[in-house]
Amino acid sequence: MPTRPRTTARRRWRKFLATTVVLAAVAAIGFTLWSNRQDDPRPDTPAADPGGTPLPDTRQARGDLDGLTIAWNRNWESYDRTAFGPGWSGRGGEPVLTGGCTARETVMKRDLTEVRLADSNSCMALAGVLIDPYTGERLPYDRFQASDIEIDHVVALGDAWRSGASEWSPERREQFANDIGNLLAVQKQANQDKGSKTPDQWRPRTAYWCDYARRWVAVKSRWALTVQATEKSALTEMLGTCTPPA
């Protein structure tokens, strides 16, 4: 009789130890899964790239163009600009990139010459000069006056939607919209004339065909977007104006 309480206590202690081991194992498995998820981001969401899509040389651009899938545009009727995040909807809310500035601010600092930044905010360009790549026009910039400069998506959001982005996650679309390798400061009227047209429908001045086509192909290649047959023909012609090495 005196050993019964002791036996019961031992059973309780063994049960407690077994439960503790099980809980520890479950916690370890959970931590491993969480850690793997952090180290292995979703494949459809590229990591933030402060440099944006790089501009390839002519040979690489031609190779990348050959590797693009040719397909008809699709889902054009369901395009919604706000699907690419609030920053490009005209309502503000641009995300801050790795460098601490928004995509718009980063592009203005990059593309303006004689740029003057705000003392209190190194992301803010107060003044400068833009040599517009689309027209070659020299455009002065003053933050406190009406401007003839806009930020253009080379591969427009509308075209991206029609060539594959309609099937992306919202996170991937927002990252595409803020890929500074696909963004240029340009003349306002040229940007509006271009709209969401592809190179078979609109082109910049001939002197800029090479760089324009290289950038277009690089963006479509990086983001696995498709091209139409007429679009590919136009890009091939434009790349033909490049003088190697580009």
Q: Tens of pLDDT along 36-47?
A: 333 333 334 444
The pLDDT of residue 83: 93
Residues 35 and 90 both lie in one domain = no
Q: Do 118 and 13 belong together in one domain?
A: no
Domain that holds residue 24: 1-40
Percent of the chain with pLDDT over 90: 72
Burial of 105 (0-12, 13-18, 19+ CB in 10 A): buried
131 and 32 assigned to the same domain? no
Q: Are residues 30 and 67 in the same domain?
A: no
129-168, pLDDT tens digit by residue? 999 999 999 999 999 999 999 999 999 999 999 999 999 9
How many domains does one find in the chain? 2
Find residue 38's DSSP bridge partners: none
Beta partners for 227? 70
Q: Using CA atoms, how far apart are residues 7 and 11, in angstroms rounded to an integer?
A: 6
| Residue with tokens 């003392």, as numbered in its chain | 119
In a shared domain, residues 74 and 102: yes
pLDDT tens string 85-135: 987 766 677 899 988 999 999 999 999 999 999 999 999 999 999 999 999
Whether residues 15 and 106 fall in one domain: no
N- to C-terminal Cα distance for the chain? 95
Tell me the Ramachandran region of residue 75: left when phi exceeds 0, alpha when psi lies from -120 to 50, beta otherwise: left
Q: Based on the domain organization, do 150 and 34 belong to the same domain?
A: no
Q: Which amino acid is at 152?
A: D
pTM (two decimals): 0.79
Decide if 212 is inside a domain: yes
96 and 5, same structural domain?
no
Does 91 reside within a domain? yes
Q: Does 48 reside within a domain?
A: no
Is 50 within a domain? no
245 assigned to some structural domain: no
CA triplet 173, 160, 74: central angle to 5 degrees? 115
**Nearest CA-CA partner of 231 in 163, 167, 161:** 163
Q: 45 lies in a domain?
A: no
- The pair of structure tokens assigned to 207 is 């002197």
One-letter amino acid at 235 equals: L
Whether 95 and 179 map to the same domain: the answer is yes
Reference 188, options 235, 141, 231; nearest CA is 141
